[in-house]
């Protein structure tokens, strides 16, 4: 029985809210120009975020840059375009980034197993581009369909309670309208600088990407002195710097805190212990502890600490959202079982895709998941994918309304899915290689569904504020899914061939893409299925994250910093510091504008860097001579001065970002 007081409040709230475009004023929304531009942006941001996510484990929301570019093209160049056309462009354009996140968090696990486990080199388990496309479409469609019945509750009834930060920001930018030209210039300026920087570093190889310095050395007598096991490094790229500005100083500091503990605390401690017994081997290591360099200490120990910390951080995030889970599931079931309303009495701004389409579409997707070849899903796997998919879609859609898409614990939800799925499969006798394939396929579908549900939730909030027609947004979201899904299989294979996700003879450790979430998930599934996880190391990592939680601090950013190499956290912290400086030196009346300009410029840096990174991968694969040049001159063409030049170029980029935030009075 519903609370009449709450219902009265909701009705009153709905009466008071008036969208930017009134419901009784139909204006063009879905046009050929909007679909074409949105599809191009969806592919571009999807490919760029695939590279960025595989490199650092993070993606950057494409909604705001897509909205700005849409206004620049439709209004600035084509001299046309309505507010709702711009909304359709950003709805389609932002889908690529969300799909990229779901794919790169899970799919590289198959490549990792293929590179490290001989049985995965056999044909049935060697994932293909077609399978990546199929899993992308099925998972994405599931997330979109499951989100549709929740719109009325999460977007309309909870309007004053759930702020949907990215969705609200997009609406504000689109409403601003006339300011689109200057904002677009800021994005394109950042993109140009990021692309030029990346070209000089990764294609021309003028300077090295990662200045690195061990904190220990051997003296004339061959004795190691200094801080053995410790090192400092910075992956001096504009993409990571831009990410740091966008996420802000607090999250950046938490990430760096995890890295400092792991690489400047625990790693030197392990080296110190190993120095007392030159023959001491500590599992899972396979060489004496005292002989390990910082990279080996990470691969054998720090990485597993990070796995435990990330797992616990994800579980805690879920536990904190239990009230959200209960209320959202209840509301979602009520929406699914609700009665039809006469379409003639429903205003344009309140029309969703018919429930019949949602139910039939969901049933078709479920059957296709069951029948999909090469993933060993079968009926049990399909049921697990649907159950966990609906459960976590509801959770994710509510969470992004509270904290935004960037802070949604997608990896935690996926790890929870993988652990429970693996244990259920084991109880039914599905184990070994087949069980690993099934579990990861379920996790892939769920992860992609969760990512797409968060994206469409933000888009529907933007549309609600602007006065868009919901069913048109929901329909075009499928278009936004289709084109990047077709590109994603090619992109992942291209990056895997050019860089790889694990160190080997073809891809040395310095050149690989880390794929942090996929590595964690591969370790978890493989360990559960084969009963060989280094549980003590993982449990210690969980205890480290627990201690952070007991301090009243969210442990997930700390855990990611502990898992990722130190070199990735330092440039992110630099971006966070610039954000802090901007906030501390801005008057209240211009702080919001300065912050917005910084985010737009940083988004451009990320896009420019990532796109040139993908171009570099294409050159490595397509041109053998470029690959030889890349391998030969990876340390830079300027020799010993290279690391210093890298730091100088990075400092200049820091200045450009700070300068881009300046507001002329």
Distances (CA, A) of 588 to 46, 47, 357, 592: 35, 37, 49, 8
At residue 116's C-alpha, the angle toward residues 115 and 118, to 5°, is: 90
440/344: higher pLDDT:
440
Across 599-619, average pLDDT: 76
Asked if residues 92 and 71 have their Cβ atoms less than 8 Å apart, the reply is: no
Label residue 606 by pLDDT band (50, 70, 90).
confident
Burial class (CB in 10 A: 0-12, 13-18, 19+), 146: buried
**Token pair 């920001």 is at which residue?**
169
Distance between CA atoms of residues 502 and 513, nearest Å: 8
Q: What is the pLDDT of residues 367-396, one digit of tens each?
A: 888 888 766 677 888 888 888 888 778 777
Task: List the structure tokens of 375.
Answer: 């993933």
In this predicted structure, what is the pLDDT of residue 337? 63
**Cβ partners under 8 Å of residue 260, min gap 6:** 566
Determine which of 120-124, 394-398, 474-478 has the lowest per-residue pLDDT on average: 120-124
Calpha distance 401→408 (Å, rounded): 10
Tell me, what's the pLDDT at 7? 41
Q: How far apart are CA 255 and CA 568, in angstroms?
A: 9
Higher pLDDT, 633 or 536: 536
Tokens of residue 576, six digits: 């966070």
Query: What is the rounded average pLDDT of the residues 201-230?
Result: 78
Specify the DSSP class assigned to residue 31.
-
pLDDT at position 1: 34
**Which residues make beta-bridge pairs with 402?**
none
The string of pLDDT tens digits covering residues 449-474 is 999 988 898 899 889 988 889 999 99
Higher pLDDT, 162 or 310: 310
Q: Which residue has the higher pLDDT, 532 or 240?
A: 240
Query: Sign of dihedral through CA atoms 325, 329, 330, 335?
Result: positive
Does residue 5 carry a pLDDT above 70?
no
For 493-526, the pLDDT digits (tens) are 888 888 888 776 666 666 677 787 888 888 888 8
What per-residue confidence (pLDDT) applies to 335? 54
The pLDDT of residue 193 = 92
- Quick one: which of 20, 105, 80, 79 has its CA closest to 488? 105
Other beta carbons within 10 Å of 293: 14
Q: For residue 665, is pLDDT > 60?
A: no
Read off the pLDDT band of 208 (50, 70, 90).
Answer: confident
Task: Report which of 464, 379, 583 is spatially closest to residue 153, judged by C-alpha positions.
Answer: 464
Interval 41-94: pLDDT, tens: 999 888 888 887 887 676 766 777 787 788 788 877 887 778 889 899 999 998
Cα atoms in the Cβ-side hemisphere of radius 13 Å centred on 125: 22
Say which residues have a Cβ less than 8 Å from residue 337's Cβ, sequence separation at least 6: none
User: Which of 89, 93, 92, 76 minimizes the C-alpha distance to 177?
Assistant: 76
Least confident of 113-117, 165-169, 361-365: 165-169
d(Cα 403, Cα 556) in Å, to the nearest integer?
14
Most confident range, picked from 214-218, 247-251, 637-641: 247-251
Predicted pLDDT of residue 447 = 92
Calculate what percentage of the chain has a pLDDT beyond 70. Answer: 82
Q: For 152-162, what is the mean pLDDT?
A: 74
Q: Which of 88, 6, 126, 101 is nearest to 50 (CA)?
A: 101
- Altogether, the residues listed in the chain come to a count of 665
pLDDT at position 58, please? 65
pLDDT confidence tier of residue 257, bands split at 50, 70 and 90: very high
**CA angle, 448 then 451 then 455, to 5°:** 135
Choose among 503, 505, 504, 501: nearest CA to 513: 501
Residue 168 has pLDDT above 70, yes or no: yes
Q: Does residue 324 register a pLDDT over 60?
A: no
Average pLDDT score over residue span 419-436: 83
Q: Is 592 exposed, middle or buried (0-12, 13-18, 19+ CB in 10 A)?
A: exposed
Report the DSSP beta bridge partners of residue 224: 218
**Residue 137 binned pLDDT confidence (cut-offs 50, 70, 90):** very high
pLDDT class for 123, splitting at 50, 70, 90? Answer: very low
Rounded Cα–Cα distance for residues 100 and 42 (Å): 10
Q: Cis omega (within 30 of 0) on the bond before 251?
A: no
Share of the chain above pLDDT 90, in %: 17
Dihedral sign from CA coordinates of 590, 591, 594, 596: negative
Which of 294, 267, 313, 334 has the alpha carbon at shortest distance from 2?
Answer: 334
Q: Count other C-beta atoms under 10 Å from residue 109's C-beta.
A: 29
Q: Identify the pLDDT of residue 342.
A: 47
323 or 370, greater pLDDT:
370
What DSSP string describes 274-329? Answer: HTT-TT---TT--S-GGG--HHHHIIIIIHHHHHHHHHHHHHHHHHHTHHHHHHHH
Q: At 219, is the secondary structure helix, strand, or coil?
A: coil
Of 37-51, 160-174, 638-652, least confident by mean pLDDT is 160-174
Cα separations in angstroms, 543 against 146, 319, 536, 537, 559: 36, 17, 10, 10, 11
- Confidence at residue 400, expressed as pLDDT on a 0 to 100 scale: 74
What pLDDT sits at residue 8?
34
pLDDT at 79: 78
Tens of pLDDT, residues 395-407: 777 767 765 665 5
- Bin 19: left if φ > 0, else alpha if -120 < ψ < 50, else beta: beta
pLDDT higher than threshold 50 for residue 11: no
Whole-number Å distance between alpha carbons of 460 and 24: 19
d(Cα 511, Cα 195) in Å, to the nearest integer? 19
Average pLDDT over residues 333-359: 69
Question: Quick one: 665 exposed, middle or buried, by C-beta within 10 A (0-12, 13-18, 19+)?
Answer: exposed
Q: Report the distance separating Cα 420 and Cα 402, nearest Å.
A: 26
pLDDT at 343: 47
Query: What confidence tier does 483 reach under pLDDT thresholds 50, 70, 90?
Result: very high
How is residue 564 written in tokens?
């990722």
Distance CA 608, CA 653 (A): 13
Helix (H/G/I), strand (E/B), else coil: 220: coil
Contacts of 12 (CB under 8 A, 6+ apart): none
pLDDT in the model for residue 176: 63
pLDDT at 333 over 70: no
DSSP-assigned beta bridge partners for residue 218: 224
- More confident of the two residues 40 and 14: 40
Dihedral sign of CA atoms 651, 65, 107, 611 in order: negative
Q: CA-CA distance, 164 to 151, in Å (whole number)?
A: 12
CA angle 131, 447, 173 (to 5 degrees): 110
Q: Does the pLDDT value for residue 548 go beyond 50?
A: yes
pLDDT for residue 573: 93
Tokens for 289, please give them: 């502890």
User: When comparing pLDDT for 611 and 653, which is higher?
Assistant: 653
- Mean pLDDT for all residues in the chain: 80
């Amino acid at each position: 029985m519903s609370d009449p007081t709450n219902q009265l409040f909701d009705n009153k709230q709905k009466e008071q809210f008036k969208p930017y475009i009134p419901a009784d004023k139909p204006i063009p929304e879905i046009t050929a120009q909007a679909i074409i531009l949105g599809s191009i942006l969806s592919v571009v941001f999807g490919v760029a975020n695939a590279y960025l996510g595989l490199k650092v484990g993070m993606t950057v929301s494409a909604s705001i840059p897509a909205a700005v570019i849409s206004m620049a093209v439709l209004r600035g160049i084509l001299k046309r375009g309505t507010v709702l056309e711009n909304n359709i462009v950003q709805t389609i354009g932002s889908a690529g980034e969300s799909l990229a996140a779901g794919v790169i968090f899970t799919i590289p696990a198959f490549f990792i197993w293929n590179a490290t486990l001989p049985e995965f080199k056999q044909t049935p388990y060697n994932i293909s581009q077609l399978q990546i496309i199929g899993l992308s479409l099925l998972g994405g469609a599931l997330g979109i369909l499951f989100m549709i019945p929740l719109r009325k509750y999460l977007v309309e009834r909870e309007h004053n309670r759930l702020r949907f930060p990215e969705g609200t920001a997009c609406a504000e930018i689109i409403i601003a309208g006339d300011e689109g030209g200057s904002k677009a210039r800021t994005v394109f300026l950042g993109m140009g600088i990021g692309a030029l920087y990346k070209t000089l570093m990764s294609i021309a190889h003028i300077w090295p990407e990662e200045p690195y310095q061990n904190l220990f050395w051997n003296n004339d007598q061959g004795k190691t002195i200094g801080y053995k096991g410790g090192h400092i490094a910075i992956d001096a790229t504009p993409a990571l710097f831009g990410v740091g500005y966008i996420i802000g100083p607090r999250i950046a500091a938490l990430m760096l805190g995890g890295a400092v503990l792991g690489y400047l605390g625990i790693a030197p401690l392990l080296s110190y212990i190993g120095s007392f017994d030159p023959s001491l081997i500590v599992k899972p290591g396979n060489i004496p502890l005292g002989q390990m360099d910082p990279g080996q200490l990470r691969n054998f120990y720090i990485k597993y600490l990070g796995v435990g910390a990330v797992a616990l951080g994800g579980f805690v995030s879920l536990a904190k959202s239990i009230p959200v889970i209960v209320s959202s599931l209840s509301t979602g079931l009520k929406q699914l079982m609700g009665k039809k309303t006469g379409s003639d009495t429903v205003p344009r701004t309140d029309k969703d895709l018919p429930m019949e389409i949602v139910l039939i579409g969901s049933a078709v997707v479920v059957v296709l998941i069951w029948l999909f070849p090469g993933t060993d899903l079968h009926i049990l796997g399909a049921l697990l994918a649907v159950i966990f998919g609906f459960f976590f879609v509801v959770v994710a859609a509510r969470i992004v309304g509270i904290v935004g898409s960037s802070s949604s614990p997608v990896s935690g939800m996926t790890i929870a899915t993988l652990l429970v799925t693996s244990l259920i499969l084991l109880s039914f006798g599905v184990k070994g290689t087949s069980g690993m394939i099934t579990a990861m396929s379920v996790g892939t579908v769920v992860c992609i569904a969760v990512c797409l549900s968060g994206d469409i939730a933000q888009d529907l909030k933007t549309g609600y504020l602007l006065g868009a027609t919901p069913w048109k947004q929901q329909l075009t979201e499928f278009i936004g899914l289709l084109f990047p899904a077709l590109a994603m299989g090619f992109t992942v294979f291209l990056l895997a061939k050019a860089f790889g996700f694990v160190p080997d003879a073809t891809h040395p450790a310095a050149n690989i893409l880390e794929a942090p979430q996929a590595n964690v998930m591969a370790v978890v599934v493989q360990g559960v299925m084969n009963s060989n996880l280094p549980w003590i190391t993982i449990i210690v990592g969980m205890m480290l994250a627990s201690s952070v939680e007991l301090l009243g601090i969210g442990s997930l950013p700390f855990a990611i910093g502990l898992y990722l190499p130190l070199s990735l956290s330092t440039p992110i912290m630099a971006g966070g510091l610039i954000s802090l400086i901007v906030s501390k030196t801005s008057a209240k009346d211009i702080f919001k504008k300065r912050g917005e300009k910084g985010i737009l410029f940083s988004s451009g840096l990320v896009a420019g860097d990532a796109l040139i990174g993908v171009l570099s991968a294409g050159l490595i694969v397509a041109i053998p001579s470029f690959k030889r040049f890349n391998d030969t001159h990876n340390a830079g063409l300027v020799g010993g001065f290279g690391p210093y030049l890298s730091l100088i170029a990075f400092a200049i980029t820091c200045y450009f970002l700070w300068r881009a935030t300046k507001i002329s009075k």
